[in-house]
């Protein structure tokens, strides 16, 4: 992956550029479109070949067969039981599809795609040295970013999370969704060391993602996750496309059932200096009802988090257990407990409950 070694002032945590000295100021600059965020935790995968779109369409959750040059979307790879295995941003440039993937998922996703090629006219090539930068569209950061264009189309992925995508469905309440202004974009740049600041680190980018209720593979996905639980159908699943692995579960839960868990946003009590960590338990009274998936300090809202809760977790005040510290948390419902069951299926009276008729043996 690109390391952005030429950028001065970066504070690193391992390979991650966490911040540049003041995460809250960086966050404001990033949100306003002024700052660029070097993304050392994302990897690029190129899918080339004349069958690339129809092939991806047949094995993933998204309808991509008719993408045009410059189009962006998002896809999931599901297992046969409909659980999320991989996730990727998708950008078509007319000659290749470019997948933007969380670093921890990139190697496994590339290997799975390569195994699925068979006789399709497709090649799958990881591009680990590609430099990726994030920004919010329409500001100074975008104007000073020159994206690579190997096939004549600038490689800038526009996150589809801001709106419900064609074929998608939103479980969260329609009014006031915080993603409405989430114009997050990721560009592939040829010369990372020539980028001009101001810059923002991963702490700033993550806080804005969490505030927009935006799920991410590296944080919200575990070995039980299905798309409905994180409201991911709004951007990454096409409910009316052809068959793909896991489709039966997607359709069954959406039309007839309810997801067993639900993502919620938490506004945390900031009076204590202790912040929870991903994996910390969420409590309703004495009962554990879920766990933290993502946490950050927002420049306006203070400490915030996303949490995966049991469907039966109560709506209202919760508590997060961070070590020995209990932190009060106000809950914002993202996926309601009654999500799913969208099909208007008439309920038939069971045979055992029908009125008893005359025994035909006694009929005259």
The tens digit of pLDDT for each residue in 340-351 reads: 887 654 555 554
Q: What is the pLDDT of residues 255-287, one digit of tens each?
A: 999 999 999 999 999 888 899 999 999 999 999
So what's the pLDDT on residue 126?
97
So what's the pLDDT on residue 342?
79
Q: What is the pLDDT of residues 27-74, one digit of tens each?
A: 999 999 999 999 999 999 999 999 999 999 999 999 999 999 999 999
So what's the pLDDT on residue 111?
98
So what's the pLDDT on residue 357?
53
Per-residue pLDDT at 116 exceeds 70? yes
Per-residue pLDDT at 92 exceeds 60? yes
CA dist list (Å): 296 to 190, 259, 343 = 31, 26, 37
The pTM (predicted TM-score) of the whole model is 0.92
So what's the pLDDT on residue 360?
46
**Mean per-residue pLDDT for 225-246?**
96
* Spatial distance between the Cα atoms of 61 and 57, rounded to a whole number of angstroms: 7
Main-chain dihedrals φ then ψ at residue 251, nearest 5 degrees? -70, -40
Cβ-contact 238, 53 below 8 angstroms:
no
Per-residue pLDDT at 361 exceeds 50? no
**Mean per-residue pLDDT for 71-97?**
98
**Mean per-residue pLDDT for 82-102?**
98
Cβ-contact 183, 190 below 8 angstroms:
no
Per-residue pLDDT at 181 exceeds 80? yes
Hey, what are 251's tokens? 């359709």
Give 174's DSSP letter: S
* Spatial distance between the Cα atoms of 51 and 54, rounded to a whole number of angstroms: 6
């Amino acid at each position: 992956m690109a390391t952005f070694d030429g950028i001065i002032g970066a504070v690193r945590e391992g390979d991650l550029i966490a911040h540049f000295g003041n995460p809250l100021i960086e966050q404001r600059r990033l949100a306003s479109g002024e700052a660029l965020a070097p993304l050392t935790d994302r990897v690029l995968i190129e899918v080339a070949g004349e069958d690339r779109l129809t092939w991806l369409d047949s094995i993933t959750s998204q309808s991509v067969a008719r993408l045009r040059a410059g189009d962006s979307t998002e896809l999931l790879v599901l297992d046969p039981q409909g659980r999320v295995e991989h996730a990727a941003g998708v950008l078509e440039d007319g000659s290749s599809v470019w997948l933007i993937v969380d670093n921890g998922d990139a190697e496994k996703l590339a290997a799975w795609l390569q195994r699925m090629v068979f006789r399709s006219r497709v090649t799958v090539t990881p591009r680990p040295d590609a430099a990726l930068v994030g920004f919010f569209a329409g500001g100074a950061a975008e104007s000073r970013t020159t994206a690579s264009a190997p096939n004549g189309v600038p490689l800038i992925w526009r996150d589809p999370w801001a709106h419900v995508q064609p074929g998608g469905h939103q479980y969260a309440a329609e009014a006031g969704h915080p993603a409405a202004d989430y114009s997050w974009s990721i560009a592939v740049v040829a010369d990372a060391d020539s980028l001009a600041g101001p810059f923002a680190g991963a702490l700033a980018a993550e806080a804005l993602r969490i505030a927009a209720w935006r799920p991410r593979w590296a944080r919200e996905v575990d070995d039980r996750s299905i798309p409905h639980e994180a409201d991911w159908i709004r951007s990454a699943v096409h409910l009316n496309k052809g068959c793909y692995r896991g489709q039966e579960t997607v359709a069954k839960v959406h039309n007839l059932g309810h997801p067993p868990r639900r993502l919620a946003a938490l506004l945390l009590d900031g009076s204590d200096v202790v912040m929870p960590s991903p994996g910390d338990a969420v409590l309703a009274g004495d009962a554990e009802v879920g766990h933290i998936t993502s946490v950050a300090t927002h420049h306006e809202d203070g400490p915030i988090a996303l949490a995966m809760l049991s469907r039966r977790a109560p709506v209202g005040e919760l508590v997060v257990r961070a070590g020995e510290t209990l932190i009060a948390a106000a809950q914002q419902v993202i996926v309601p407990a009654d999500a799913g069951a969208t099909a208007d299926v008439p309920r038939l009276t069971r045979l055992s409950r029908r009125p008893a008729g005359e025994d035909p043996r006694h009929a005259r």
